[in-house]
Chain A
Amino acid sequence: MKSDRFERWLQNIHHTRDEEISCSECFDSVSHFVEVEVSGEDPAIKLPQVRQHLDQCPACREEYETLRDLRRLEEEDGIPSADDLQDLIP
């Protein structure tokens, strides 16, 4: 719904800071951010600027969420083989 989208945008405006890191800076640190999170620590405490950027930038957030889930999968069951992953494609 458009109203939900507008509310999300208002949230983004609300949490806007004068200084925010760029997508490149976020990319440089996102693997560290994920590693801290997977270790059980709160990455927002250690890397608050990355957390803030991820909350504002949907592209970087989606990459982060995929990386985090992939890293967790690696930790738990291992990442499936390429053949197994291809089998998920109909």
Chain B
Amino acid sequence: MSSTRTNQEWLHDLNASGALQEAAIADLRDLLLRAALYFFSRNLGDFRGLSREEITQRAEDCAQDALLAVLKHLPDFRGDSKFSTWAYKFAINIAMMAARRERWKGVSLDELASSDESSFFEWMMQDKSDGVAPERFAMQGEIRGIIQDVIRNDLTDKQRRVLSLMIFNEVPMDEVVRHLGANRNAIYKMLHDARRKIKSSLQARGFEVGEMLSLFGASG
């Protein structure tokens, strides 16, 4: 049984040959299928309109892709977790990409990426304006202005597009990755650079971020 193998036994059996290896691969594939189905069962909203058979088939495809990924990365396993925990993450990663692709198919990300961030800020300020003291409202406006300045003047076109998609339109990262033909690391770095620039611009204008959070009602 797969669940009774130790880490060493997993590595030994998967690196063996013949029936021993075949059994280990079959057990591993079953674990990965269960991880993919588990992710899908938590995210059924991504699969509206699909039948159980179609969803199951997608989980089978994910398990197969995850199996190949696990076998490819087997030498990287450091033994700092259970082998199954290490393997599950490949299935979850692949299942998440598949689920988000299904949910966002047919949505024009080009259109979303080109939307002006000012509409987001206007809406946000309107949403927060009720019952806010005028002085506080004015400071919120000043912060909004600084952030907008940074977005307009200090970010690259690509950073602005990523920000527009992920922050203003809540497009999942993997869809942005697919849309831009990039990878998660590159997208994360763009967001990180944008955050750093905004943070330092706010600090340069005398706004400590803790103060800024309380102005908008968030706690640090």
* A contacts with B: majority SS: helix
Q: How far is the CB of A52 from chain B (nearest CB, A)?
A: 11
* B contacts with A: majority SS: helix
Q: How far is the CB of A30 from chain B (nearest CB, A)?
A: 6
A1 nearest in chain B by CB position: B127
User: Which residues of chain B are near A81, meaning CB under 8 Å?
Assistant: 34
B185, A67: Cβ atoms under 8 Å? no
User: Which residues of chain A are near B27, meaning CB under 8 Å?
Assistant: none
A66, B196: Cβ atoms under 8 Å? no
B39 nearest in chain A by CB position: A66
- In the assembled complex, 24 residue pairs joining A and B whose CB atoms fall closer than 8 Å, in A order, are A3-B124, A3-B128, A3-B216, A5-B170, A6-B120, A7-B213, A7-B216, A13-B209, A14-B212, A16-B192, A22-B185, A23-B185, A27-B93, A32-B80, A32-B81, A34-B81, A35-B82, A57-B188, A58-B172, A59-B96, A59-B174, A66-B38, A82-B37, A90-B44
Residues of B at the A interface (CB closer than 8 Å) are: 3, 30-31, 33-35, 37-42, 44, 52, 55-56, 76, 78, 80-82, 84-86, 88-89, 92-93, 96, 120, 123-124, 127-128, 167, 170, 172-174, 184-185, 188-189, 191-192, 195-196, 198-199, 202, 209-210, 212-213, 216-218, 220
